[in-house]
A and B are shown apart, each in its own frame.
Chain A
Amino acid sequence: MSGISPKDVAHAARLARLALSDEEQAAMAKDLEGILGHVESLNAVDTEGVPPTLHGFELSTPLRPDTPVEPMDPALAVLNAPASQGTAFLVPKVLEEEE
């Protein structure tokens, strides 16, 4: 691991579905380089044989009775949709029409 380049930032931005201007990309690369420089110190820690901690509190998977409950009213669920039709969310067409 070494410094993070504007190209790395562009790749991460693409994965995260963020569009950055060239200016933003350069500024982010500089900020992330500083932060990752600090994070590099973790490499020096000996973690041979140490299990990862995944949760804030170790719990086995909780079980509950399989009882049906009222779901949220679909009319409420689409209340915040930027575009909706009935109880469906509207998005731009994903598939092109056949020629």
Chain B
Amino acid sequence: MGQAESLLAGGLAEIREGLDRGDATSSEIVEASLARIEKTAALTVVVSTRAESARAEAEAASKRIAAGKALSPLDGIPVLLKDNIVHAGEPATCSSRILENFVSPYDSTVVERLQAAGAILVGRANMDEFAMGSSTENSIHGPAHNPWELDHTCGGSSGGSAGAVAAGLVPIALGSDTGGSIRQPASFCGVVGLKPTYGRVSRWGLVAFASSLDQIGPLGRRVSDCAAALQVIGGHDPRDSTSVPELLPSLGNALTGDVEGLTIGLPEEYFVEEGVDPAVLARVRDAIAELEAAGAKTVPVSLPNSPHTIATYYVIATAEASSNLARFDGVRYGRRADKVEDLEDLYMRSRSEGFGAEVKRRILLGTYVLSAGYYDAYYGQAQRVRTLIRRDFEHAFEMCDVIATPTMPETAFALGAKADDPLSMYLSDIYTVSANLAGLPALSMPCGLADGMPVGLQLIGKSLDEATILRVGDAFERRTDHHAARPPEIA
């Protein structure tokens, strides 16, 4: 293995040190990343690359770094985007037939910020169609394969982003999280995934799924990698009217390695044996014991409305999706059906031919819960229960600084295992959706293996307090070596 390859196999910190020391150039790292993407094409985690532009940008970055003028910790670093985050001149298929030939005419805010920081956008990552799914199987590009076990899913919907980081193709990838779509695949692939507070990262240029829940966030090898990426992409953006005006603090300073005196809340509803793989629960309990050994206190907390989170989420998310996806009508962009009779036929057939089954299912559910006679009983009630779920967290956070839970009740499942059972797929989001409903920051990080597959520990923070969950996660990493576990080398 060459110098660039071995640096790439590490993480952001290793690559950064190597670049700054002059052990390798950004061009060599980007070349190694592109080569590895090509070598692992069978994983189907990357759906397009922009090799030529990336090489040109890496050359400029290499010169900056050699001159000691690096723009940021991400300068010269290869990064992947989930395929629903737009980048001018690049495709954004959202894994949908309806957008298979779409080329974005503009940049998302996160792309502008990454490029201003010198990051090299090497390509785009596979996902479930319009971010609807938990397995990255609902994709025109084909299912993504988990690097740990090729016939298992990467999780979803940011499965390509998680799989790419796990397989060492890039140190950082961006995903989006509406009900767990960053944290769940991070858990399944053994990497760190951070969903920031709602509004912390601009949604300008993120193809909308459920606008009151969607949030962009980073996936990386380590907690500090995600902190560095959030530092670049986060912060107020006037183009997103839901963007929070509060300043993003310096996250690097938060990573003190010290959890002495911090209180970790353990929701009693989440630490029951029922419905969770015992080996998963055991790894999560070990992780909490490790944090206690590091000086953190734990307290039981209660989230009494937990049994209602999935139902609340699937009403609100599908209602918003049915409205957001109305824009795909075959008129202004996207696929148009052939030989249409009239405008009505154009809408009907373009949409019916362009959307996959899961997207249609959710549009129908969302349309139904918003339709006359059902609106208040379903959508209105779900919005009121959402308030109760949010209040549960407010009460719990009166007693603790962070909340720890498993990210998922299980490890990665086999490809196809849940394809015919949408409800069972939805129910496995039990631990992740509440952070979206309450708008809170949450991360998933590796905390060991169960039967050879990665287990994720979820840390949920107070509103706008990404710093504390990153601090706890980083302290855990400094005391353990779970983040160093790697999938078998892909032949």
Q: Do residues A18 and B105 form an inter-chain contact, with CB atoms below 8 A?
A: no
Comparing B26-34, B38-46, B115-123, B365-373, the segment that makes contact with chain A is B365-373
Which residues from B are CB-within-8-Å of A19? Answer: 348-349, 352
Q: Do residues A56 and B367 form an inter-chain contact, with CB atoms below 8 A?
A: no
Measured CA separation A54–B390 after assembly (Å): 12
Of listed A1, A39, A64, A92, residue having the most chain B CB within 10 A? A39
Measured CA separation A8–B368 after assembly (Å): 8
Q: Do residues B384 and A51 form an inter-chain contact, with CB atoms below 8 A?
A: yes
Q: Please pick, from A1, A59, A93, the residue contacting B377 in the complex, using a CB distance under 8 A.
A: A1
Q: Do residues B245 and A50 form an inter-chain contact, with CB atoms below 8 A?
A: no
Shortest distance from the beta carbon of B115 to any chain A beta carbon, whole Å: 18
Q: Do residues A50 and B387 form an inter-chain contact, with CB atoms below 8 A?
A: yes
Shortest distance from the beta carbon of B118 to any chain A beta carbon, whole Å: 25
Q: Do residues A56 and B308 form an inter-chain contact, with CB atoms below 8 A?
A: no
Shortest distance from the beta carbon of B64 to any chain A beta carbon, whole Å: 29
Q: Do residues A89 and B371 form an inter-chain contact, with CB atoms below 8 A?
A: no
Shortest distance from the beta carbon of A7 to any chain B beta carbon, whole Å: 12
Q: Do residues B242 and A57 form an inter-chain contact, with CB atoms below 8 A?
A: yes
Q: Is B305's beta carbon under 8 Å from chain A?
A: yes
Measured CA separation A1–B331 after assembly (Å): 36
In the complex, residue of chain B having the shortest beta-carbon distance to the beta carbon of A83: B336
Q: Please pick, from A31, A39, A43, A56, the residue contacting B198 in the complex, using a CB distance under 8 A.
A: A56
Measured CA separation A55–B199 after assembly (Å): 10
Cβ proximity bits B326-350 to A, threshold 8 Å, 1 near / 0 not: 1001111111100011111111110
Shortest distance from the beta carbon of B300 to any chain A beta carbon, whole Å: 23
Measured CA separation A47–B387 after assembly (Å): 9
Q: Is B144's beta carbon under 8 Å from chain A?
A: no
Q: Do residues B105 and A72 form an inter-chain contact, with CB atoms below 8 A?
A: yes
Q: Is B276's beta carbon under 8 Å from chain A?
A: no
Measured CA separation A28–B312 after assembly (Å): 20
Which residues from A are CB-within-8-Å of B242? Answer: 55-57, 59
Of listed B387, B426, B463, residue having the most chain A CB within 10 A? B387
Interface residues of A in 10-59 (CB under 8 A from B): 11-13, 15-20, 24, 28, 31-32, 34-36, 38-39, 41-43, 45, 47, 50-57, 59
Q: Do residues A53 and B197 form an inter-chain contact, with CB atoms below 8 A?
A: no
Measured CA separation A96–B355 after assembly (Å): 30
Q: Do residues A15 and B348 form an inter-chain contact, with CB atoms below 8 A?
A: no
In the complex, residue of chain B having the shortest beta-carbon distance to the beta carbon of A80: B333
Which residues from B are CB-within-8-Å of A41? Answer: 307-308, 311
Q: Do residues B368 and A28 form an inter-chain contact, with CB atoms below 8 A?
A: no
Of listed B361, B363, B367, residue having the most chain A CB within 10 A? B367
Q: Is B254's beta carbon under 8 Å from chain A?
A: no
Interface size class of A (residues with CB under 8 A): 35 or more
Which residues from A are CB-within-8-Å of B427? Answer: 38
In the complex, residue of chain B having the shortest beta-carbon distance to the beta carbon of A1: B377
Shortest distance from the beta carbon of A85 to any chain B beta carbon, whole Å: 13
Given A56-B436, A72-B105, A82-B384 contact (CB < 8 Å): no
In the complex, residue of chain A having the shortest beta-carbon distance to the beta carbon of B370: A15
Q: Please pick, from A28, A47, A76, the residue contacting B384 in the complex, using a CB distance under 8 A.
A: A47
In the complex, residue of chain B having the shortest beta-carbon distance to the beta carbon of A27: B357
Q: Is B423's beta carbon under 8 Å from chain A?
A: yes
Q: Do residues A42 and B311 form an inter-chain contact, with CB atoms below 8 A?
A: yes
Measured CA separation A23–B244 after assembly (Å): 46
In the complex, residue of chain A having the shortest beta-carbon distance to the beta carbon of B197: A57
Q: Is B310's beta carbon under 8 Å from chain A?
A: yes
Q: Do residues A47 and B364 form an inter-chain contact, with CB atoms below 8 A?
A: no
* A interface residues (Cβ-Cβ under 8 A, vs B): 1, 4, 8-9, 11-13, 15-20, 24, 28, 31-32, 34-36, 38-39, 41-43, 45, 47, 50-57, 59, 61-62, 64, 72, 76-83, 89, 91-94
List 23 A–B pairs whose Cβ atoms lie within 8 Å, in order of A's numbering: A12-B368, A20-B352, A31-B422, A32-B361, A32-B368, A34-B422, A35-B314, A35-B365, A36-B368, A42-B378, A45-B381, A47-B387, A50-B388, A57-B244, A57-B463, A59-B242, A59-B245, A76-B106, A78-B332, A80-B101, A81-B333, A89-B331, A91-B343
